[in-house]
Structure 1
């Protein structure tokens, strides 16, 4: 699970829980981290940090080398980890940029044909510090909330925490509609062919900057630089052709922290309207 490292280098941990919703995707991320360790010379130990362990504990690790973090909690954090690189998913939605959206999904066999059809029902959400599963969801619903002057759903169900648990709540008829990180959904659809027949997208939010890989706040500059140099080569590396396809991923890009101010603006706008929780 680790690559060849410089003899003097400590081991750093790596994790892709946010985008490991199915086993095949998790295995592909492990392969990527192994490749990254070899190419960078930084020893990476791929660790499990599965639900119900809080992601905040992962992000706070002092030995963190590469783990995905949502931009919203990053911007809210008092002690931020160090940005490493942002993924660029492939597909028309993303336009070759390190962005993503929230897909609002229902059961495929439900009567709902539009998002508006779900109003008055049961809305799922992930956690309050999630952008895709809470902040972007609330932003998308805000115009409808303003128009009605009241909540749109009879019940808000959560925290469901993970995309997988949102899908399970849909299929178990615990919610009528739920939010899914578009890139996480891409990976689940790529590796779980049955899923496409079980759920249906009824709306897509505006684009926002995507969750990115971070390292510990105290991670040395040379370690960050080595990881970045390797990741900039991912898009053209012949050895990564299969990984690019299995990870639905074109490249890695530099993290533009200023773009993540959008997550705070959306949060402030909803709170100013009195719409603190989506529902």
Structure 2
């Protein structure tokens, strides 16, 4: 079985993508030098590959069924506003200069989201909006953009009025795209939960999982400048039950008659 690996979730810029690739290369050198780093087109299928040695996923797909195929390696700690330890949040953002100063003020506005299987961009926003909705509706329109960057650009271009952005992504945007960051303003946070976990196939041995954890710590300790660029501070090993709060957010929105963002 050929081992495969990828860290696809925070490649916000080409420079960040190169840093993540370099970190992953260093980890694999210690654990399995023959493992292949790939660029997956279909993440859902990739994460279910029996040879998956290490990757990173969103917590929402994890609780919706991916947990049956993978095991948790670790959850990163990021140095970003909205993060605390292994926990992260969604930043609620609107266009700079817009009249909206809270989520409540966005009734009838246009909401952008990256994808329906995103915890930070969809699930957290739906959960935060559910208490405000009437008869299952709150926004005047919704727009699926395909990425957090796409949602931010929709705000900047006046194609949408509000979006929920992964706070780690937002910090990377401030670093890499200051002009885009200045085109939006923050109006709050939503959906605190464990951050995007590093995962491996359930076929990976306990010994290899332990080696991956050691290698990840080593990659931070030996390359502190790169770790700062990646905003990486360390890792926690969490039980899979720690992510149940993400499913609970979905459940609470559904029982409030707000099963979809609308």
- Superposition deviation, residue 88 in structure 1: 0.4
Residue 264 in structure 1 maps to residue 255 in structure 2: no
Q: Which runs of 5+ in 1 are unaligned?
A: 1-9
2:138 to 130, 152, 155: 152
Q: Trace 1:33-112 onto structure 2 (pairs within 5 A).
A: 33-49=24-40, 53-77=41-65, 79-91=68-80, 93-95=82-84, 97-112=85-100
Q: CA RMSD in A?
A: 2.0
Q: Residue 33 and residue 11 in structure 1: after superposition, are their counterparts in 2 closer, same or farther (change >3 A)?
A: farther
* 1:119–1:152 CA contact under 8 A, matched in 2: yes
Q: Trace 1:117-156 onto structure 2 (pairs within 5 A).
A: 117-145=105-133, 148-156=134-142
Aligned partners of 1:195, 1:43: CA distance in 2, in Å? 39
Aligned partners of 1:201, 1:92: CA distance in 2, in Å? 11
* 1:101–1:207 CA contact under 8 A, matched in 2: yes
Q: Which runs of 5+ in 2 are unaligned?
A: none
Aligned partners of 1:87, 1:227: CA distance in 2, in Å? 13
Q: Deviations over 1:159-200 (max 9, x none)?
A: x23212212222232211111111121122222232321221
Aligned partners of 1:89, 1:129: CA distance in 2, in Å? 22
Q: Residue 17 and residue 191 in structure 1: after superposition, are their counterparts in 2 closer, same or farther (change >3 A)?
A: same
Partner of 2:174: 189
Q: Residue 20 and residue 92 in structure 1: after superposition, are their counterparts in 2 closer, same or farther (change >3 A)?
A: closer
Residue 278 in structure 1 maps to residue 261 in structure 2: yes
- Superposition deviation, residue 86 in structure 1: 0.9
- Superposition deviation, residue 38 in structure 1: 2.6
- Superposition deviation, residue 18 in structure 1: 1.4
Using the size of structure 1 for normalisation, the TM-score is: 0.86
Q: Aligned to 1:133, what secondary structure does the other structure show?
A: helix
Partner of 1:174: 159
Q: Deviations over 1:20-54 (max 9, x none)?
A: 121111111011111212333444433223xxx33
- Superposition deviation, residue 224 in structure 1: 1.9
Partner of 2:193: 208
Q: Aligned to 1:104, what secondary structure does the other structure show?
A: strand
Q: How many residues align?
A: 261
Partner of 2:228: 245
Q: Aligned to 2:233, what secondary structure does the other structure show?
A: strand
Deviates more, 1:17-26 or 1:84-93: 84-93
Q: Aligned to 1:101, what secondary structure does the other structure show?
A: strand
Q: Residue 122 and residue 92 in structure 1: after superposition, are their counterparts in 2 closer, same or farther (change >3 A)?
A: closer
Aligned partners of 1:140, 1:101: CA distance in 2, in Å? 12
Aligned partners of 2:14, 2:244: CA distance in 1, in Å? 33
Q: Residue 43 and residue 250 in structure 1: after superposition, are their counterparts in 2 closer, same or farther (change >3 A)?
A: farther
* 1:11–1:42 CA contact under 8 A, matched in 2: no
* 1:42–1:227 CA contact under 8 A, matched in 2: no
Aligned partners of 1:181, 1:43: CA distance in 2, in Å? 33
